[in-house]
Amino acid sequence: MNLYDEFFLITEAFEANEIVYAVIGGFALAFHDKPRFTDDIDILVKFESLSKTNIILNELNFFRSTDPHH
């Protein structure tokens, strides 16, 4: 699976579950005509959605690579 397929899998699941999110980092830059190498997708979610977000990502076999920043 490539990063773009993974991105759309995640965002479709978030939208279906009404998770408000923002894509940040290198992957987001690629959509704004500033491509650079990245091998992950950085996503910002509201603290109130964190528990639901973790469930969705676990069901999709993704993992959180860092602790949440509050």
Using one digit for the tens of pLDDT, what is the confidence trace for 21-58? 998 876 666 666 766 666 778 888 998 999 999 999 99
Specify the pLDDT at position 43: 87
Q: What is the pLDDT of residue 5?
A: 87
Lowest mean pLDDT among 2-6, 10-14, 33-37, 38-42: 33-37
pTM of the model: 0.77
Which residues are paired to 23 by β-bridges?
43
Closest by Cα among 16, 17, 39, 13 to 26: 39
